[in-house]
């Protein structure tokens, strides 16, 4: 089996031959990638192969897709698959389909080819490389049949690259061990839910407490001292080489939205635990104390109060929240006491800024940017600020058949124009990742034969730069006033939320960027449109975030949320490199933004 160094030393013909079968019947990809040598790492080789496909013309990419066999198709039945494809299809039991499954796959293959003009391609070894269940393959097949042709073409090419990644691991005898561990742990936690089916882990429910207990067990096994604090955070501390050292904090949240994904938040807890386990096995200590905090609550599902765990650590917990009630009438303070926590001890959770060096959070991107760029990791430059409003429009209800179009005061058409205004103002080449969303749109007591006399809608405007966000808000609110005046519609606005953007610390970003480059990956900076615990921790200390690519179009807060063991593994390598190279002397403690 070759190594990267040996592959670098081969001539182009020998290099191409060595990578035979990595891309199905397409040796031209390896031949083109060979010109980019030497590759410092396996990650760099993967990117070079991907770039060779990206640089090909449409006909070549389509030919590559058509080189792939159908799943459980004629070539599989006739024994005409390549050795690689035979192994992959067998790993998911596609050679053992029932008659009903064969018939279903045959029909799906025909539908797919007719719709897209190339065979359905799926890395059937899945996110872990161990194989997907047959029903999961069929479900994915059905779901992707609904994609638009351009979207499906890009997804098929991504699956080709994932297949190649798995084949390279086999060729070079590389196993994403840390990534596999993290994926297995995510599966274990994903099976602990408040309700079935799906995953829901709300604050201080029995499932939430079981999740905390399991995380604490993994922390102890990794060599940390562990406690669960008064708000429910699970805190693991890996002691420094010298006593009395300052602390670098990492972590994320372990609660979920209703029917959420397995990796949101939890990746940022489990990955550093796995890395600490490696350090402990080697007897390696860092020159600072490393604290991994599994924040108890970030999503706001049960009490509609977000960032409870990180707010307490940052010293910003509002005691009035203890009197909040959930939909069942249970007060937060009673839920805490029932789980064995002392609400009166929450203020003592707050850290001393002088003792904290910084906070670094690893998180799935929860979006498609990294996926579309073919990059496993990115460095977050800032967490977007947000302005949220509720808008109430009042027109005049009238008979749908007798009220002339030019004489209507239709609240719904005003709302429709506002929706398009938000899209226009926040669309295009918007600065600082400006986005605008009307997520709620309602015609109260609407009827099919009545001109709408009232309408309610929400506004959510976000950007990584506050000036860009506030300028968009001003323009949109002024536009709403103009639209309503022209249409004879009354308007009322309520501001629901105003959160400033949180910039990440440049020196921490540079540390993550340098670690990415040492791993053979380009540094790519991107903003976070979603809120994260790092926003609250920025009140305590300097913060940084490392984003990890998600699959399935970048979907999150959804059971389809996914990532791969390989991406988790390279994220672990980058984070460990960052931790080892972290310059304690240059890190100003307590430098909150």
**pLDDT tens-digit series, residues 143-177:** 999 999 999 999 999 999 999 999 999 999 999 99
Other Cβ atoms less than 10 A from the Cβ of 130: the count is 13
Q: What residue spans define the domains of the chain?
A: 4-172, 179-381+503-581, 386-500
The hierarchical CATH code for the domain 179-381+503-581 is 3.40.630.10
Q: Is 361 helix (H, G, I), strand (E, B) or coil?
A: strand
377 neighbors 572 (Cβ within 8 angstroms) = no
**pLDDT for residue 97:** 87
Q: What does the pLDDT average to over 269-298?
A: 97
Beta strands of 190-233 (E only): which ranges? Answer: 225-228
Other Cβ atoms less than 10 A from the Cβ of 276: the count is 26
The CATH architecture assigned to 4-172 reads Orthogonal Bundle (1.10)
CA dist., res. 123 & res. 22, Å (int) = 13
Q: What is the pLDDT of residues 462-481, one digit of tens each?
A: 999 999 999 999 999 999 99
Q: Any residues with CB less than 8 A from the CB of 513 and at least 6 apart, and which?
A: 379, 523, 525
**pLDDT for residue 592:** 47
Residue 35 burial class via C-beta count within 10 angstroms: exposed 0-12, middle 13-18, buried 19 and up = exposed
**pLDDT for residue 89:** 85
Q: What does the pLDDT average to over 77-89?
A: 78
Other Cβ atoms less than 10 A from the Cβ of 331: the count is 16
CA dist., res. 79 & res. 239, Å (int) = 57
Same fold, 179-381+503-581 and 386-500: no
Per-residue confidence band for 430, with pLDDT thresholds at 50, 70 and 90: low
93 neighbors 125 (Cβ within 8 angstroms) = no
Per-residue confidence band for 512, with pLDDT thresholds at 50, 70 and 90: very high
Q: What does the pLDDT average to over 32-50?
A: 97
Other Cβ atoms less than 10 A from the Cβ of 312: the count is 26
Taking every pair of C-alpha atoms in the chain, what is the biggest distance, in angstroms? 83
Q: How far is CA 409 from CA 33, 247, 386, 400, in A?
A: 63, 61, 31, 12
Quick check: 217 pLDDT over 50? yes
**pLDDT for residue 593:** 42
Other Cβ atoms less than 10 A from the Cβ of 405: the count is 8
Share of the chain above pLDDT 70, in %: 97
The CATH architecture assigned to 386-500 reads 2-Layer Sandwich (3.30)
Q: Is the dihedral of CA 366, 372, 375, 380 positive or negative?
A: negative
Which of 52, 47, 49 has its CA nearest to residue 18?
A: 49
197 preceded by a cis bond (ω within 30 of 0): yes
CA dist., res. 449 & res. 373, Å (int) = 48
In terms of DSSP H, where are the helices of 34-98? 42-54, 58-66, 74-77, 83-91
Q: What does the pLDDT average to over 302-316?
A: 95
């Amino acid at each position: 089996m070759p190594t990267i160094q040996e592959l670098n030393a081969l001539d182009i013909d020998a290099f191409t031959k060595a990578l035979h079968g990595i891309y199905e019947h397409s040796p031209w990809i390896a031949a083109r990638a060979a010109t980019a040598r030497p590759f410092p790492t396996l990650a760099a080789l993967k990117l070079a192969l991907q770039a060779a496909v990206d640089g090909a013309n449409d006909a070549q990419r389509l030919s590559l897709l058509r080189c792939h066999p159908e799943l459980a198709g004629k070539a599989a039945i006739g024994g005409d698959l390549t050795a690689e494809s035979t192994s992959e299809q067998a790993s998911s039991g596609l050679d053992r389909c029932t008659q009903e499954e064969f018939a279903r796959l045959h029909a799906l293959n025909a539908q797919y080819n007719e719709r897209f003009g190339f065979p359905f391609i799926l890395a059937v070894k899945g996110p872990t490389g161990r194989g997907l269940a047959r029903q999961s393959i069929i479900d994915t097949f059905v779901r992707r049949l609904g994609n638009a042709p351009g979207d499906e073409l890009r997804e098929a090419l991504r699956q080709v690259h994932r297949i190649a990644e798995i084949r390279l691991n086999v060729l070079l005898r590389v196993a994403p061990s840390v990534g596999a561990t993290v994926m297995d742990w995510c599966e274990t936690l994903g099976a602990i839910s408040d309700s079935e089916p799906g995953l829901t882990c709300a604050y201080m429910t029995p499932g939430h407490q079981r999740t905390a207990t399991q995380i604490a067990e993994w922390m102890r096994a990794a060599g940390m001292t562990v406690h669960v604090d008064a708000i429910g955070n699970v805190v693991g501390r890996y002691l420094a080489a010298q006593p009395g050292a300052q602390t670098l904090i990492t972590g994320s949240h372990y609660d979920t939205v209703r029917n959420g994904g397995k990796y949101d938040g939890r990746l940022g807890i489990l990955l550093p635990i796995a890395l600490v386990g490696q350090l402990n096995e080697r007897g390696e200590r860092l020159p600072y104390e490393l604290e991994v905090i599994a924040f108890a609550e970030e999503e706001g599902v049960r009490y509609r109060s977000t960032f409870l765990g990180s707010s307490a650590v940052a010293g910003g917990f509002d005691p009035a929240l203890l009197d909040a009630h959930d939909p069942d009438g249970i007060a937060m303070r009673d839920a805490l006491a029932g789980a064995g926590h002392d609400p009166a001890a929450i203020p003592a959770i707050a850290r001393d800024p002088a003792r904290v060096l910084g906070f670094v959070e690893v998180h799935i991107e929860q979006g498609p940017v990294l996926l579309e760029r073919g990059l496993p990791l990115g460095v977050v430059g800032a967490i977007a600020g947000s302005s949220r409003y509720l808008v109430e429009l009042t027109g005049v209800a009238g008979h749908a058949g007798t009220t002339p179009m030019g004489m209507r005061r239709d609240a719904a058409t005003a709302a429709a124009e506002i929706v398009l205004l938000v899209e226009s103002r926040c669309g295009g080449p918007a600065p600082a990742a400006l986005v605008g969303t009307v997520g709620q749109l309602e015609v109260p007591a609407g009827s099919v034969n009545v001109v709408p006399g009232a309408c309610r809608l929400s506004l959510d405007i976000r950007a990584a730069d506050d000036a860009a966000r506030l300028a968009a808000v001003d323009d949109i609110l002024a536009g709403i006033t103009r639209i309503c005046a022209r249409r004879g519609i009354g308007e009322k606005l309520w501001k629901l939320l105003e959160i400033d953007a949180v910039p990440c610390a440049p020196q921490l970003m540079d540390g993550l960027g340098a670690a990415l480059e040492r791993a053979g990956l380009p540094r790519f900076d991107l903003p976070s449109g979603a809120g994260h615990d790092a926003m609250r921790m920025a009140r305590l200390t300097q913060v940084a975030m490392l984003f990890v690519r998600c699959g399935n179009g970048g979907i999150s807060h959804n059971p389809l949320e996914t990532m791969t063991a390989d991406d988790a593994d390279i994220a672990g390598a980058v984070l460990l490199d960052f931790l080892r190279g972290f310059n304690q002397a240059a890190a100003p403690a307590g430098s909150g933004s």
